Structure 1
Amino acid sequence: MAPSFPTAIAPRLPSVDRIARILPTQFGSQADTEIDLCVSGDGRVAQVTLVQGSAYEAFDAALLRDVKEWEFTARPAATSARVCKRTTVSYRMPS
């Protein structure tokens, strides 16, 4: 049985927030990006890869920068292998 994927601790997107004012002209009110995300046993992001971008390169680059800084719950040493999953990150424009 594969180890469960850890829980993100307060994930934020500050780089995306900084460019959010120009995003509505590109996407409307929401942008979705699909990524492959790998987390090491200590809860740090080991790898993040863009699978399906938003069609706006600056948004995708900002999102990848931010996700690389996310922290996840650490796992006990017995299950400290790196775990990966494909996930969609949805960003809603601030109102």
Structure 2
Amino acid sequence: MAQGGLKKSAGPAKKKTHKKQEKMRKGSRQIAPKQTTLVKQRALEKKLTAQINKNIEKQMSVKANAVGKLTIMKKLAEETATADKKNKKK
């Protein structure tokens, strides 16, 4: 043999594989607004929905406390009852 052996030819190029997403998240995707008016509108909407949800929870806790079946919301009902008493005194 002559000096130095034959070099092996390069093997087939490796294919690039895409990583699979681990978990798909449920729900719709929303792009955050960039215009100031839309940002303010989104913040207001978020605040109002939070207030509505809190109000609904208060009403549910009051009903639960009246019947006595739902003890999960009893703590919230007690808080609303004390708040109502304070408002009536004023």
TM class, shorter-length: under 0.3
Which protein is bigger by CA-based radius of gyration? 2
Higher helix share: 2
Higher strand share: 1
Q: TM-score, normalised by structure 2?
A: 0.25
Higher relative CO (Cα under 8 Å, sequence separation at least 6) belongs to 1
